[in-house]
Structure 1
Amino acid sequence: MLYKVHPARVVSVGEKIEIALEGGQTKRVRAKDLELLHPGPLRSLGELVPQEGEVEAAWELLEGSETTLQELAELAFSAFTPVTAWAAWQLVAEGLSFTGTPGAIRARPRAEVEHDRAQRDAKAVAEREWQAFLGRMAQAAPAPQDAGRLTEVERLALGQSERSRVLEALGHEQTPVNAHRALIQVGHWSDRHNPYPGRCSVPTADPDLPVPALPDQQRLDLTDLPAYAIDDEGNQDPDDAVSIDGDRLWVHVADVAALVAPEGAVEREARARGSNLYLPERVINMLPQGVTEQLGLGLQPVSPALSVALRCDEQGSLTDIEVHRTWIRAQRLSYDTVDGRLGEAPFAAMCALTDRFRARRVALGAISLDLPEVSVRVVDGRV
């Protein structure tokens, strides 16, 4: 008998029918809960083993027509016994070549069978590929073809989605931090990969916009006055410099307006970004690289600048302030280098002037914030 989707053997018949199920369990059920597959006898459900037969030939003979379980068993397995009846019913339960009930079985048309078979084959191939992929992930040995699957983990690591089937299969909690850690563990991302720009949806490349050549502008020529652009070692965008001419201090600032027109494409992009983004591994500039190359003080033999000249009297007050568009010739120096030369000209004269100015600010209540240097490392997905 067929009880729900399981085979059953009738033990006794009374007001209810007692049946034996797989595993030796017995149960009393109503007649309407059972469907007859074969009148028997059947000594044990253990006899119901898979059968070899002419299943394809039987389907071809019956294609597009209706049949019975007995006829299907005889055509496919050359006999109608409890064992072949169960084997024939398994063909119907599979739902590929045959569908229906024990009393009314339909042999499906070839087009339907071929369509479903192709889908099942494709699903089986996909499952094998999925299991092979998980095996490579367990061994931390992703293959080039795995990049597409790992994209969904990247999206979770970057905060662009909330779940990842891959991450779940690998046994990780569904969080951006765990996604980042998993990508590092399998070797898809290096341990220095920084996901935070992507999570914050900030640009991850310099602007790709055309930069014009420097225009021929009338500027005050200060190229004979030594100028010093003092920055951290390795700085790639020097934007200020200082000079001293007698008792006058000059402060030079890179003249970005020489190349970046108000409300132009470059200016709008820079305004949208707000500033350069300084990451542990690199700098993402708010201006196209061509702007820095032409305007960075000391990157070219001569640089355009916006220069402020001033004097600082004995009381530390600023006087005789002038502002000019200039041409300067800047020499690049590091803070460490200049710290070692503060007792030499021209840096000693600059110090004397700025010390007076600083003393006046302190006397007027200036606040000095001494912040510690901060270094950032990303280890195993954590900052």
Structure 2
Amino acid sequence: MKNTLKISIILAIFAVLAPFSVSYANSNSWCGSTSYTYTVGGILFYAQKACSPPLQPEPTPTPTPTQISQYAVYPTVNLYANINSVSPGQSATLFWNTSNASSCYASSGWSGSKNISGSETVYPYTAITYTLTCTSYSGQQSSDSETIYVNQYYPTPTPVQQGLGAACSISPDSPRIGNIVTFIAFESGGTAPYYYSWSGEVSGASKSVSRTFSTTGQKTASVKITDAYGRTSNGVCDVNVLAAAPAPTPSPTPTVGQVQGASTVCKTVNVPVTVCVDQNGKTIGTPTPTPTAPVTPTPTPTEVSKTGSNGKSFLASIFSISDETWARIKSLLKWYLAILAIILFVAIAYFIIKRATGKEVK
């Protein structure tokens, strides 16, 4: 503003001194001021607003992006399985998901590049640890692992397969018409359970079958045995059926006086004869008197109730005691009676002496 005023004053002075011409030009200079040219007395004068160029602000440098938040974050990896313990041959499924990851790869129990999320079926044969490692855009890595265990399996040993054999037996071995006959099957080897099928003279599907026969002669039965593996074997039984047993002979009704028993009974009676009687009460043989030496009868009275023939005691006759034995018994009885008499005599004498001396007998 001050510079413009100075120029105006100078132009006014020249206007007073001499004629002049003025040209005006507006310029779009950086100063933004007006330029003037003056002609005074043939002399060209140039005047311009004097101003200093404005200070230009220094340009602000464009910051280079550093993406600090992206490079500082590590990827997150989450690996897990649907089951942690399997049987041999059983499968398991691995699942995983990540964040801030650009790529993933598998190691340990599996291998290869993997998506940043997904699933995969594995078949572990023993305890295996699966590892998944993922990398972020800046190169940082993170890992996660999952272990799947395999149950120990001890298979039952397969039994040695043996051939199947079949046989049968009959009870009783010699039946008669009307008897119950039982046929029994026997198996050897093979593998249980067993299945039975009878044919011939009998039928059925059990281990044993029974029936009766109304005719005599040879009877044949067959049994087919099948084991758990479908193997079969056949057995055959033969039996001879006899005629029915004859009706038993009825025992005769015993009459009064008959001796009942299974054998012959012989008895020596008072007379010197021996009589034998069979189980039907019949006398066997003829009583034969036993010859004895003649004995002179002594007219000694005897009691019939106490003594039998030959002076024997009635008891001796009942128990069939011989004469010699009876004589010995009588001798012993005599000695026994004599001893008793002596003991009795001593006891009586003892009491008499005690009373005579005036002592009390205890």
Shorter-chain-normalised TM-score: which range?
Answer: under 0.3
> Which one has the bigger strand percentage?
2
TM-score between the two structures when normalised by the length of structure 1: 0.17
The structure that has the greater radius of gyration is 2
TM-score between the two structures when normalised by the length of structure 2: 0.17
Q: Comparing both chains, which one has the higher relative contact order based on Cα–Cα distances under 8 Å and sequence gaps of 6 or more?
A: 1
> Which one has the bigger helix percentage?
1
